[in-house]
Structure 1
Amino acid sequence: MSEQLPDGGHPLSQKDIDALDARWANAWTPAEVAARLDGVTTPWYVAAGWALDLFRGGKTREHEDLEIAVPAGRFAEVRDRFPGHLWDAVGYRRVWTSPGPEALAAVHQTWLRDPVTDEYRLDVFREPHDGDTWICRRDETLRLPYADIIRRTPDGIPYLAPELVLLFKARNVRPKDQVDFDGVVPLLSDSQRAELRALLTRVHPGHEWLAGL
C-alpha cells in the first residue's frame, strides 16, 4: 500500500510513535471542543472511548486523546474553527505536516497541533458520507442518516451511538476495548443490544463479543 501514498509523509518508527503519544498529554476534553464548535452546521460527534463515557454520563477511565468525526467533504467548516492551529494528516505509520489534498485523501485521520507547544489537542476523523448519510468505513454498504447515529448528552455534546462505537472497537480488541464492552453492554437497551448483535454479525461474523449479547 505504501507505493500508493503521496509524497511528503514522514515514516514513523516505534520510537517516533512513543514520542507522539507523549504529545497528547494535554488533549482537549469533549466540552472544550463542543464550545469551539458551537454553531457549526456540519454534523460531528465524539467518537471512540470518550463517546462511551459520554453515554455512561461520566469519565470511567483515562483517555489518551480525544477523537471526533466529521463528514470528509465538510471538514473545512470544522478546520476553520481552529485558526492559528496546525493540522497533520496521519496514517500507515506516517505523518504529513501541512498536508495537501492528496495526503488528506489517502488517510482519514487529522491531528490538530498547537504551534507553540507542538502538542496535539484533537484527532479528527474525516469520514465517508453521501450528503447527510454516514457511510461506515468498515462496510460501505452500511449507511445511516447522521440524525440516526448521533446522540447528545444533557448539555448537548454530540457523540456516536454506543453500538457503533463498539462495532469499531471490535476489529482489534485491546484490553481497554474489552473493559469498555464489559462496562457498556449492561447499560444498553434491548434494541441497542439487538442492533449491536446485528452489526457484529454483519461486519465481524463469529466475533467473540456475540456470546456476551
Structure 2
Amino acid sequence: MSEQLPSGGVELSPDEIEALHARWSSCWTPVEVARQLAGISTPWYVAAGWALDLFRGRQTRAHGDIEIAIPAAGFPEVRNRFPGYVFDAAGSGRIWENARPEVLAAVHQTWLRDPATDNYLLDVFREPHDGDTWICRRDEKVRLPYSDIIHRTRDGIPYLAPELVLLFKAKHARRKDQADFDATVPYMSPAQRVTLAELLARVHPGHPWLSDL
C-alpha cells in the first residue's frame, strides 16, 4: 500500500483522539467476531493484544478495542458481512468516514462503525500479501504462508502467532506492550523465541527485548 496519505479525511486533535476511546466501549470480543465471520473464505485472524490472550488461553487485561487482520484482497468479502454498517479508514491521526476505494488503497487500518450509535466495533487491518503468502508491512522481505502464522484456540478462533504480534508491538513498546512481552515470552516455545529474536534483529536492530530472549 502507498505510504502517501490520501486527500480529505478529518485531522484529529489530541483531545479528539483521546475521546475516541469511548466510542470503542461496545467493541466485540473474539467470540463475537468469529461468529460474525464464520464461513468466510478469506484468511483472517485476531491480532494485537487480544491475540496474545488467546495464545495464553485467558484474558489477562482489559482491551480498549479488538483488531483482526486479513489479506487486503479479501476485504470485500469481510465488508459484505456487515450490511448496515460503515467502514472508516484511520491513519496518522486522521479519519476518513465511509472510506472510498482510493483511501482504502493507501491506509491499511479500517474501523467498523455502527451508524446508529457512532460506536466502533472492530478494527480491520488490510495486510499486504502475495496470494496465500503474508507479507510483513514493516519489512516486505519477511514473507510467510498464512498457514504458518495463523494459530487457533480450542474453540477454533484464529489468532496471529505470538512472535509476530510482539514484533509489531516492539515498534512503540508502550507500557502495555512491555507488559504483554513480559507476560507472553514465558509461554513461548524455544523456536518461537528464536524466531522473534531473528525478526527483531532484522526489523528493529538493537531492540532492548533482544537481551531478554
Determine the structure 2 residue equivalent to 1:209: 209
Return 5+ residue gaps in structure 1 as ranges: none
RMSD: 1.1
Q: 2:110, 2:126 within 8 Å by CA — same for their partners in 1?
A: yes
Q: Which residue is 1:62 aligned to?
A: 62
Amino acid at match of 1:29: T
Q: Write the distance in 2 (CA, Å) between the matches of 1:24 and 1:194.
A: 35
Matched, 1:18 2:28: no
Q: Distance in 2 between matches of 1:18 and 1:204?
A: 28
Cα deviation code 1:112-157 (max 9, x no counterpart): 0011111000000000001110000000000000000000000000
Three-state SS of the structure 2 residue aligned to 1:156 is coil
Counterpart CA distance in 1 for 2:172 and 2:6 is 27
Which residue type is aligned with residue 22 of structure 2?
A: A
**Counterpart-to-counterpart distance in 1, 2:5 and 2:157:** 35
Deviations along 1:144-194, one digit per CA (max 9) or x if unpaired, are 000000000000000000000000000110000111000000111111111
Equivalent positions of 1:1-213 (< 5 A) are: 4-213=4-213
- CA drift of 1:6 comes to 2.4
Moved over 4 A (4+): none
In 1, Cα distance between equivalents of 2:4 and 2:43: 30
Query: Is 54-63 or 197-206 further displaced after alignment?
Result: 197-206
Conserved in 1, the CA contact under 8 Å of 2:151 and 2:158?
Answer: yes
In structure 2, runs of 5+ residues without a counterpart are none
Alpha-carbon separation, structure 1, partners of 2:9 and 2:135: 27
Give the TM-score taking structure 2 as reference length: 0.97
Kept in 1: contact 2:5–2:107 (CA 8 A): no
Give 1:83 shift. Answer: 1.1
So what's the TM-score if we normalise by structure 1?
0.97
Superposed displacement of residue 199, structure 1: 0.8
**For residues 5 and 197 of structure 1, what CA distance do their matches in structure 2 show?**
32
Displacement of 1:74 after TM fit?
1.1
Larger displacement relative to structure 2 (148-157 or 89-98): 89-98
Cα distance in 1 for partners of 2:126, 2:186 equals 31
Pair 1:195–1:5, CA change in 2 (3 A): closer
Percent sequence identity is 69
CA–CA distance in structure 1, aligned partners of residues 200 and 146 of structure 2: 20
- Matched letter for residue 108 of structure 1: H
